Amino acid sequence: MSHPVQIKNALISVYYKDNLAPIIQELNRLGVKLYSTGGTETFIRNLGVDVIPVESLTSYPSILGGRVKTLHPKVFGGILARRGFAGDEQQLAEYEIPEIDLVIVDLYPFEETVMSNAEEDEIIEKIDIGGISLIRAAAKNFKDVVIVASKADYGALEDILKTQNGETAIDQRRSFAQKAFNISSHYDTNIFKYFNQEEPLPLFKESIQSSQVLRYGENPHQKGVFYGDLDRMFNKLHGKELSYNNLVDVDAAVALIDEFTEPTIAILKHTNACGIASRNNIKEAWIDALACDPVSAFGGVIIANDEIDGETATEISKIFYEVLIAPAYTDKAVLILKEKKNRIILVRQPVLLPAKQFKTLLNGVIEQDKDEVIEGPEQMKLVTLRHPTEHELRDLYFANKVVKHTKSNTVVFAKNNQLMASGVGQTSRVDSLKQAVIKAESFGFDLSGAVMASDAFFPFPDCVELAAEAGITAVLQPGGSINDKLSVEMCDLKNISMVTTGVRHFKH
């Protein structure tokens, strides 16, 4: 049935009472009979509006410290009864149950309580029982009942009360029900995830309440949506909305820059660093990051881990880029950067990022721990006759951070905390190495004394031989190949050092 429903009786019991008063006043104006409990009942009385305690309807008091208040047939019967069904109406009359046409109920703040690091007893008490049951019952019977399960919908309800004098249409009730089931499912997902931390069941459940429709997906013919709260992550100072591809690159940029503590700037294209350098100040870092590959830097995503000043902003503004991210900007820098209208300028906020990664695959989803391991000099095991110098060890550490965040198969050349070149996403490791050598030579880099890092082991000694011929003096790799001995022997033959880490960093 798609009949309109006139609100005659309402049950109201909420945790959050913000902006509730105007709705109470409108319901009172329309002559709606109000039922309520506890603090909400007191709130309504203080507005000078008549209200009937639920206890008067059920003939039972609130018991067990408030755990049981509304769980009663006289409440749920009035909500679930189907209008126009003779049997339901007969039983309502027999047991003196009023039809409840409007339910305004929200839920205890379980998610917020968990995030506050409260004790478990307090968290458990915030698992709502009556509220979730009322929401589901009213939403199920949306053909006859209006359910408002969030203060975010108070405005819509108030508008209906004012403009339609308390009469609701089926599409409005269905819309409220849709939102209510979203709230109940999100609530239950968070409860499950709380209980699923120790000895977790192998189940996948995620619920994200905020979203942003993107201009399109990876290509213009694909639709795209970002699920999450970008405003918590970034404060946008200038520019258009981030695109799907922007977001993918920004995610890669954030992951890369978080490996570094000294002033560092990275430039990324298609999730790979085409330039990165660490220096004593952010301007020098920019100049040397750009020098790595000024061609690929065009239209890239730039990220810094230190404040952007006016001088650095002037240098950055000399090229076209899509996005610039930094923890802070001087006022002068903002003025300079805003002169280019199509640049996106973001201030990164301190937000805790997820420790898990997942994506759709085939007819399901795969999930993994984020790769948060990085091996420094202490984890590097010497396997050659020649020892790396302290300077080479620092460069190997730098190169290892970069190679970890570069598309496999990959090798990275670095010197003096600067990316010299990288071979990215090749189907063979030797092709990645050849690509890196060509890149370095094309931009005039002298690889003498540079180091090389690989995301995975060398299956054959040819990579080490070619690297030595290019001028590489120290190599880092995870090791683990049955041919490791051949690569080590080649290093000894070419008088270069090699260290292994025991940790592979594939990135697909």
What is the spatial distance between Cα 411 and Cα 388, in angstroms, rounded to a whole number? 18
SS (H, E, C) 8-41: CEEEEECCCCCCCHHHHHHHHHCCCEEEECHHHH
CA–CA separation, 496 vs 461, rounded Å?
13
Reading the block at residue 346, the tokens are: 């973001």
Is the Cβ–Cβ distance between 268 and 402 less than 8 Å?
no
Cis peptide before 245 (omega within 30 of 0): no
Among 233, 307, 321, CA closest to 263: 307
DSSP 353: P
d(CA 342, CA 238): 8
Q: In angstroms, rounded to a whole number, what is the distance separating the alpha carbons of residues 41 and 55?
A: 11
Q: CA dihedral defined by 438, 440, 445, 446, rounded to 10 degrees? A: -70
For residue 288 the two structure tokens come to 């040397």
What residues contact residue 228 under an 8 Å CB cut-off, 6+ apart?
208, 210, 211, 212
Rounded to an integer, what is the distance from CA 214 to the centroid of its chain?
15
Catalytic residue list: 140, 270
- The CA-to-CA distance between both ends of the chain, in Å, stands at 52
* Beta strand 451-454 pairing with 474-477: parallel
Name the phi and psi angles at 205, rounded to 5: -140, 125
Residue 310 to residues 285, 427, 470, Cα–Cα distance (Å)? 14, 43, 39
Tokens of 112: 């917020």
Across 76-111, b (16+ Cβ under 10 Å) vs e yields bbbbbbebeeeebeeebeeeebbbbbbbbbbbbebb
How many other CB atoms sit within 10 Å of the CB of residue 411?
A: 34
Q: Which amino acid is at 225?
A: V
Q: Which residue has the tokens 């997820």?
A: 354
